[in-house]
Amino acid sequence: MRRSFLTAGLLLLAAICTLAQNASTPSPLSSFDLTAIDKSVDPCQDFYQYACGAWMKNNPIPPDQSSWGRFNELHERNQTILRGILEKQSADNASRSAVNQKIGDYYYSCMDEAAIEAKGTAPVKPYMDKIDAMKDKSEIPTVLGGLHRAGANAFFGFSSQPDFKDSKVNIATADQGGLSLPDRDYYFKTDVKSVELREKLEKHIAKTFELYGESPAKAAADAKTVMKVETALAKVSLDRTEQRDPTKVYHKMSAADLQKLSPAFAWDQYFTTIQPPSFDSLNVGEPDFVKGMNELIAGNDLDTVKTYLRWQTLRGASSMLPKAFVDEDFEFYGKTLRGAKELRPRWKRCVQHTDNDLGEALGQAYVAETFPPEAKARTLKMVHELEAALKQDIAELSWMTPDTRKQALEKLSRIDNKIGYPDKWRDYSALDIVRGDAMGNSVRANQFEFNRQLKKIGMPVDRNEWEMTPPTVNAYYNPLENNVNFPAGILQPPFYDQKADDAVNFGGIGMVIGHELTHGFDDEGSQFDADGNLKNWWTPQDKEQFDKLEQCFVNEYDSFVVVDDVHIKGKLTLGENTADNGGLRIAHMALLDVLGTTPTKEIDGYTPEQRFFISFAQVWCTNETPQQTRLQALSNEHSDARFRVNGVVSNMPEFAKAFGCKANSPMIRKPACRVW
Ligand SMILES: [Zn+2]
């Protein structure tokens, strides 16, 4: 339910340039970049091309990436810093702190490919054997519970979440899951590329089974079975656009009612295995999915379910299995699906795994090295400046009536700010990290996280917790907690540059802050009140007006073609587009406030407002493979980089004025869309 700023898959870290840097710390990235600009392009014709044209020409996609942009550059820089931390801590040294022992030994074990090769498939065998040993369908819930604890994505997910209608308390939740492709539509689309993708997935599944020792004939038959099961699950799944609607994924019921939905699956046995705290009711995200899963289990033989579970187990384990499994996984998920040419070096993958599994342990060293208290203080100051701008914007909106305006201002005033890293670090003492046991460490980390989530059931929501690790180059708004969260990883150049002028920083991190604040008022966030409860605070008249204004964005982004005949999905990306448009507008307002009445001074031949818009656009300079562009448009809530720039500036008369665009320029949209 959280709304993030960027593609969820992007993770990384960085350092603040004011710090004394150790020898291994890479230098900070540049923010405003004159060499990125293509001056042969008219900014009023295609602003993205103008601001990023030369950058795109000079920064081809590295072979181990499927897209390459300024976010990635910062991510890579952060990874290099983390690598330095992890290499230092991976030496077996009795003087390490308990936290450093965990991150160091986790990384060491992940990097020890010789040991991983020597063990072969033995580390995953106990799980596969348990699946094979089932003699009756009644054993499925018990075996599935064990697989879920170990981290496998089979059938559904079970966890905790704040109750949408009582957001101070966590409740248990069961949600749809268990697919190998990014969205349910991938299983049904009939265009050539989609058919080809499914054929390649089937081959990939077969090859993975072969690597585990199956004969080619059995592996091929098993792959067909897996496709059949996943297609049946996809059929009863909500698509990503529907999942954005909180009312479609909130169905509170008793465990007895859940059991009625799926007579063929004994939930009490599942609960006996996973051991959640006792609860009276839970949220069943998608009741139709549970019914569909029941039909699938009831209508197929046990071997079919076993084959599916074996596939999801191997898939989940592949990154800590021998190289043949890793390469095969990359062949499909890296090359075919995303268009990358080469597997990322082992160290990058192991840095990533450590961040995923021990993020708040690794994050402690990262923050100590890169994020001083003054960085936190200056970010907080900018957040307050952006909040003041949004307050002014809401106060002046012509379409809103006083009743709703009062509620909106109340909600804004109650947004909490979290900056850099948690006040209290997560305690990993219950998680054993054993030197030389890469798979065991990964499984235990999954079990630790699974249990951590379950323990929250029935407990008050801890709003100090973070959903992103400190080194992450990303940010999010949480509608259930009504707070904005900015990890240390994004609070650096090119987003924030202490040496740059205000215009550059407001176009960068100012826009990011504005974007997250606006999420509290997008099509989804606006359904939650100041306390984070799913509750309508709109008058019918204002709601109607809001929906009408939002529809303008839906139509605008629906019209953008990103590759071949693939359009952006205007409804899937509506929340992000609302946040991009509102975010840049309030960042611009905040900049004007800060500049005040001081006379406009040009730098490098650009006025402050021109620098603001160029700085904003340059955050999005990106090259990507056509496969990645397609994947993003079909399954991601964020629009393609070019349209995150052009789609926004073309709605802003302030932009046209700053660059002196003529009335019929392509960068002036008629009528302009605006909500906030
Ligand atoms: Zn966002």
* pLDDT single digits (tens) 270-312: 999 999 999 999 999 999 999 999 999 999 999 999 999 999 9
> Two tokens at 297?
């289990």
Ligand 1 centroid to residue 519 C-alpha, Å: 7
172-193 confidence digits (pLDDT tens): 999 999 999 999 999 999 999 9
Backbone angles phi, psi at 472, to 5 degrees: -70, 135
Is 15 exposed, middle or buried (CB count within 10 Å of its CB: 0-12, 13-18, 19+)?
buried
Backbone angles phi, psi at 73, to 5 degrees: -60, -45
Which pLDDT score, from 0 to 100, does residue 597 have? 78
Given a cut of 70, is residue 22 above it in pLDDT? no
Pair 169, 458: CB distance under 8 Å: yes
User: For residues 310 and 209, what is the distance between their CA atoms, to the nearest angstrom?
Assistant: 9
Ligand 1 centroid to residue 2 C-alpha, Å: 9
Given a cut of 60, is residue 16 above it in pLDDT? no
Q: Which of 526, 592, 673 is nearest to 389 (CA)?
A: 592
User: For residues 87 and 76, what is the distance between their CA atoms, to the nearest angstrom?
Assistant: 16
Ligand 1 centroid to residue 576 C-alpha, Å: 5
Ligand 1 centroid to residue 5 C-alpha, Å: 3
User: For residues 449 and 447, what is the distance between their CA atoms, to the nearest angstrom?
Assistant: 5
Residue type at position 124: V
Q: Which of 649, 624, 625 is nearest to 70 (CA)?
A: 624
Ligand 1 centroid to residue 501 C-alpha, Å: 25
Ligand 1 centroid to residue 108 C-alpha, Å: 35
Q: Please list the active-site residues.
A: 516, 580
Ligand 1 centroid to residue 443 C-alpha, Å: 31
Ligand 1 centroid to residue 229 C-alpha, Å: 33
Alpha helices by DSSP H, 431-475: 438-455
Ligand 1 centroid to residue 379 C-alpha, Å: 18
The pTM assigned to this predicted structure is 0.94
Ligand 1 centroid to residue 637 C-alpha, Å: 8
Which pLDDT score, from 0 to 100, does residue 8 have? 33
189-232 confidence digits (pLDDT tens): 999 999 999 999 999 999 999 999 999 999 999 999 999 999 99
Q: Which of 346, 391, 313, 8 is nearest to 153 (CA)?
A: 313
Question: 68: how many CB neighbours lie within 10 A of its CB?
Answer: 20
Ligand 1 centroid to residue 578 C-alpha, Å: 9
Given a cut of 70, is residue 19 above it in pLDDT? no
- Residue 637 CB partners (closer than 8 Å, separation 6+): 3, 240, 244, 572, 573, 575, 576
42-76 confidence digits (pLDDT tens): 999 999 999 999 999 999 999 999 999 999 999 99
User: For residues 201 and 329, what is the distance between their CA atoms, to the nearest angstrom?
Assistant: 10
Strand partners, 282: 172, 253
Which pLDDT score, from 0 to 100, does residue 9 have? 30
Q: What percent of the chain has pLDDT over 70?
A: 96
The angle subtended at Cα 2 by Cα 167 and Cα 245, nearest 5°, is 80
* Strands 166-176 and 156-163, sheet pairing: antiparallel
Which pLDDT score, from 0 to 100, does residue 182 have? 96
User: For residues 310 and 319, what is the distance between their CA atoms, to the nearest angstrom?
Assistant: 16
Secondary structure letter of residue 34 according to DSSP = G
Q: What is residue 672's three-state secondary structure?
A: coil
Ligand 1 centroid to residue 584 C-alpha, Å: 12
Q: Confidence band (pLDDT; 50, 70, 90) for 13?
A: very low
* Strands 561-563 and 566-567, sheet pairing: antiparallel
How many H-runs (helices) and E-runs (strands) does the chain carry?
27, 12
Q: What percent of the chain has pLDDT over 90?
A: 92
Pair 285, 174: CB distance under 8 Å: yes
Ligand 1 centroid to residue 551 C-alpha, Å: 18
What is the four-CA torsion angle of 113, 116, 117, 118, rounded to 10 degrees? 120
Ligand 1 centroid to residue 520 C-alpha, Å: 10
